[in-house]
Amino acid sequence: MKVSALKLKIWSEEVISPLAWQRIILKALPALKEMGYELNALMNPSETLVFSEKSFEIIDLAVRELYQTEILPELVTA
């Protein structure tokens, strides 16, 4: 499973709120930092930044906790 960080950012800003991505990343940052991600790369993801299944689970949990919603399945690729 692969998930584009940029697609997630765009989705969260359009569907949830303009500041949603910032809140999601700050919530998930401690766990993502342990996986080697840096704040700047997460806040402004490039087109090549792709989350692994474990990273996606962390982001998904943050979305659920903050906004009581789920990430659209069509954003996830095999």
Cβ atoms of 6 and 47 closer than 8 Å: yes
| Domain limits, the chain | 2-77
> What predicted TM-score, i.e. pTM, was given to this entire model?
0.91
Residue 70 token pair: 């789920």
Alpha-carbon distance of 5 to 56, in angstroms, equals: 9
Residue 30 has pLDDT above 80, yes or no: yes
Residue 78 has pLDDT above 50, yes or no: no
Residue 40 has pLDDT above 90, yes or no: yes
Share of the chain above pLDDT 70, in %: 96
